[in-house]
Amino acid sequence: MIEGRQKRSDLGIGDNLLRKVLAIVLILSLYLSSCHGTEENDLWLLLSSYEDISITVSDLAFFLATHGFDAKPEKSYVVVKFSSGKEVYLTPNGAAPGLADLWMTPPSSSGGPTRVISSDAVKVNVTYNMTTDQTFIKKVSRYVIFPVTPLGMCYDGSQKLFENYKSFGVNMMYLFDPAGFNSQGHLWIALEDKGQPNTWLAIDSYYGVMTNDEYYYHAPYSFSDFSYLDSVNPRWRVA
């Protein structure tokens, strides 16, 4: 009888110990999961807080390492390894907001660490001075019949305007607001007035010449080549 009671007592101690071990394992798993999530959030916040249109893969890896991340350059991307063992992959994103795009699987490209875009190709948050030359404004207004394209098709319309005004022999820029038109992005152009250097005339492909709207003279991004739009906002074609 005593032996039987001892066995049941030992069994009870074993059950209690097992429950305690399982509780500790559960707590640790929740803690590690929380740490992992915090690491991902911290990484995303860091990437979103800076911009550098000329950053390379090597530069990006060094930047992340100085902020405490296990980051190593690999081909055309950076591998970041979290304390949980999970890896994510980052590619420099040019002039798009933030420093890099984040991938769950390794990107297929293997081009190596190259400069994404020249440092002066895209101007960020520039305000342009509006021309007051009425002769120039009237000439530009008569040169094109507006609207060039239907409302909302500003990407096609801006390209057509750019081609039409080439004969003027003036300096031209695309101006882009990624938050415009309900976050679908808004694109328009500006022509520099040669008679008044460093003054510009903004033109919307639907509304025409803009002489009384300050919105059209400041843009988050501006560039002289339409191809740079992909660097500024890679998802624009989906909008």
Give the model's pLDDT for residue 26. 53
Residue 22 DSSP symbol = H
pLDDT, average across residues 38-62: 83
Decide which of 69 and 41 is more confident.
Answer: 69
Give the model's pLDDT for residue 11. 44
pLDDT, average across residues 132-144: 92
My answer on whether 94 and 138 are in the same domain is: no
Share of the chain above pLDDT 90, in %: 37
My answer on whether 143 and 195 are in the same domain is: yes
Q: The domain that contains 149 carries what CATH number?
A: 3.30.460
Distance CA 140, CA 201 (A): 9
10 Å Cβ neighbour count for 128?
20
My answer on whether 155 and 229 are in the same domain is: yes
pLDDT, average across residues 199-222: 95
Domain assignment present for 36: yes
pLDDT at 40 over 50: yes
My answer on whether 64 and 157 are in the same domain is: no
pLDDT, average across residues 130-148: 93
Domain assignment present for 13: yes
Domain assignment present for 177: yes
My answer on whether 138 and 87 are in the same domain is: no
10 Å Cβ neighbour count for 94?
23
My answer on whether 135 and 224 are in the same domain is: yes
**How many domains in the chain?**
2
pLDDT at 237 over 60: no
Pairing mode, if any, of strands 172-177 and 218-223? antiparallel
My answer on whether 188 and 151 are in the same domain is: yes
Share of the chain above pLDDT 70, in %: 73
My answer on whether 148 and 195 are in the same domain is: yes
Give the model's pLDDT for residue 96. 65
My answer on whether 53 and 132 are in the same domain is: no
- Reported confidence tier of residue 93, pLDDT bands at 50, 70, 90: confident
pLDDT, average across residues 35-44: 70
Q: Where are the beta strands (DSSP E) in the chain?
A: 70-74, 77-81, 87-92, 100-103, 122-127, 172-177, 186-192, 200-204, 208-210, 218-223
Give the model's pLDDT for residue 20. 58
Domain assignment present for 117: no
Q: Please give the structure tokens belonging to residue 102.
A: 């984040």
Residue 121 DSSP symbol = T
- Reported confidence tier of residue 143, pLDDT bands at 50, 70, 90: confident
Domain of residue 51, residue span: 2-103
My answer on whether 221 and 180 are in the same domain is: yes
Give the model's pLDDT for residue 118. 63
Pairing mode, if any, of strands 100-103 and 87-92? antiparallel
My answer on whether 66 and 143 are in the same domain is: no
pTM comes to 0.54
Decide which of 206 and 28 is more confident.
Answer: 206
My answer on whether 77 and 43 are in the same domain is: yes
Task: Mark which of 38, 68, 103 sits at the end of a domain.
Answer: 103
Give the model's pLDDT for residue 9. 46
Task: Mark which of 45, 71, 103 sits at the end of a domain.
Answer: 103
pLDDT, average across residues 55-71: 90
Give the model's pLDDT for residue 46. 85
